[in-house]
């Protein structure tokens, strides 16, 4: 592992085991070659966000992926950054991808957040905060994490173009293929807005980019935007499922509904809009509900918390860790 923020080994192992005991859950023991990170979006600056940051601090990950929608307050970028660094330290890699609240500037600007919470992972490629990827760890990568911004309006009132064949669609495809060509075991994508959802939004991210990720069998896609937790079965296109269309369930597109899932059979989507605000309801009767394996919302096991992910050469293990006062949990694995 490279230095500069990476804490692989005994400290991470003890931190992870301590958390698993307090949560009364079994946790796989990462070996010396592992990556450990947390992820959540839709934070705000209230007590909920501070509670979730306390969970992150307790878990001691190598880095955190903040899935967009940060301060929910105009002009509060530095205040938000101070909240984060007061909990996690000034050098902790709190990695950013924009949400709609800071892409168009009405609740701060992503560029300002990126200045006071800069990338602290070495080897980053692309435009930090908007569209970028990084291989972790840098010296002997186990995973490539690709962050994109489909479906969001920016200050010019326009969305970035992730339609099929566009420059950003091609960039995303090349980043996925490049990871595979370099022999990197795991490929993850993170973006603020989902396509499939049990909440109030439709396919914000767009069908083209979503079906690209499915066709490439990206291992895990992380989203937020809906202030809920929602985790899908493993989904894939190909064979009898030529294209996934939002608003209905195609059984042929569910490649694996067991546990653990098998790498290469499809993609798991995990929506983690539970970083501090909460408040959205989930609809168990949603026409896309058949794609989902687990969920939590304001009307069903409400929870704030973070997704805790450990990756080794052989497996990806993830669990939802609730903040203090909440009891909802979820865990899933993908194995090679």
Task: Find the domain containing 134 and state its range.
Answer: 10-335
Is the Cβ–Cβ distance between 300 and 284 less than 8 Å?
yes
Structure tokens at 93: 């890699």
Residue 2 lies in a domain: no
Q: Model-level pTM? A: 0.90
Enumerate residue ranges in the chain where pLDDT < 50: 1-31
For residue 46, being part of any structural domain is answered with yes
Of 206, 108, 76, 105, which Cα lies nearest the Cα of 148?
206
Instruction: Give the Å distances, CA to CA, from 138 to 144, 146, 178, 313.
Output: 10, 14, 15, 15
The helix/strand/coil state of 231 is: strand
Q: Do residues 84 and 116 lie in contact, with contact meaning Cβ atoms separated by under 8 Å?
A: no
Yes or no: say if 195 and 207 are a contact pair by the CB < 8 Å rule: yes
Answer yes or no: are the C-beta atoms of 43 and 69 closer than 8 Å.
yes
In a domain, 115, yes or no: yes
pLDDT of residue 185: 97
For residue 278, the model assigns a pLDDT of 83
Q: For position 27, what pLDDT does the model report? A: 39
Q: Give the pLDDT confidence score for residue 279 in this predicted structure.
A: 87
Per-residue confidence (pLDDT) for residue 14, from 0 to 100: 34
Strand ordering across the sheet containing 63-66: 94-96, 63-66, 34-40, 305-312, 315-322, 330-335, 261-262
Pairing of strands 34-40, 63-66: parallel
Query: What would the two tokens of residue 290 be?
Result: 């058949």
Structure letter (DSSP) for residue 233: -
Count of Cβ atoms closer than 10 Å to residue 299 Cβ: 12
Nearest to 128 by CA among 186, 181, 81, 190: 190
CA neighbours closer than 13 Å in the CB half-sphere of residue 80:
30
Residue 102 lies in a domain: yes
Number of structural domains the chain divides into: 1
* 136 contact partners, CB below 8 Å, separation of at least 6: 35, 37, 62, 63, 121, 142, 143, 144, 145
pLDDT for res 288: 97
Query: What pLDDT does 23 receive?
Result: 37
207, part of any domain: yes
Which residues make beta-bridge pairs with 222?
Answer: 190, 270
Map residue 197 onto helix, strand or coil. coil
For the stretch 298-311, pLDDT in tens is 999 999 999 999 99
Q: What is the pLDDT, as a whole number, of residue 6?
A: 39
pLDDT tens figures, 129-179? 999 999 999 999 999 999 999 999 999 999 999 999 999 999 999 999 999
* Cross-strand bridge partners of residue 141: none
Which CATH number do you get for residue 308? Answer: 3.60.21.10
Give the pLDDT score at 11.
36
């Amino acid at each position: 592992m490279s230095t500069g923020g990476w804490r692989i080994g005994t400290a991470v192992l003890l931190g992870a085991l301590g958390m698993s005991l307090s949560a009364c859950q079994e946790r796989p023991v990462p070996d010396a070659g592992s990556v450990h990170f947390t992820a959540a979006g839709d934070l705000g600056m209230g007590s909920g966000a501070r509670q979730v940051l306390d969970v992150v601090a307790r878990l001691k990950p190598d880095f955190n992926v903040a899935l967009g929608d940060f301060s929910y307050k105009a002009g509060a970028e530095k205040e938000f950054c101070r909240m984060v660094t007061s909990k996690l330290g000034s050098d902790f890699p709190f990695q950013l991808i924009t949400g709609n609240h800071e892409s168009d500037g009405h609740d701060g600007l992503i560029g300002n957040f990126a200045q006071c919470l800069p990338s602290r992972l070495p080897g980053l490629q692309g435009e930090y905060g908007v569209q970028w990827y990084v291989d972790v760890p840098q010296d002997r990568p186990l995973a490539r994490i690709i962050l994109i911004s489909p479906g969001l309006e920016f200050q010019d009132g326009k969305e970035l173009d992730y339609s099929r064949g566009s420059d950003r669609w091609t960039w995303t495809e090349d980043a996925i293929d490049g990871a595979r060509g370099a022999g990197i075991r795991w490929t993850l994508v993170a973006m603020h807005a989902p396509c499939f959802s049990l909440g109030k939004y439709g396919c914000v991210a767009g069908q083209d980019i979503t079906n690209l990720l499915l066709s490439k069998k990206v291992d895990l896609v992380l989203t937020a935007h809906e202030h809920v937790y929602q985790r899908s079965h493993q989904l894939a296109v190909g064979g009898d499922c030529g294209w996934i269309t939002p608003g209905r369930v195609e059984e042929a597109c569910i490649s694996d509904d067991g546990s653990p899932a098998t790498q290469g059979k499809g993609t798991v989507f995990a929506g983690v809009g539970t970083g501090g605000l909460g408040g959205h309801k989930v609809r168990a009767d949603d026409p896309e509900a058949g794609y989902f394996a687990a969920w939590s919302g304001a009307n069903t096991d409400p929870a704030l918390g973070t997704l805790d992910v450990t990756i080794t050469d052989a497996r990806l293990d993830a669990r939802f860790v609730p903040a203090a006062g909440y009891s909802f949990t979820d865990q899933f694995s993908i194995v090679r």
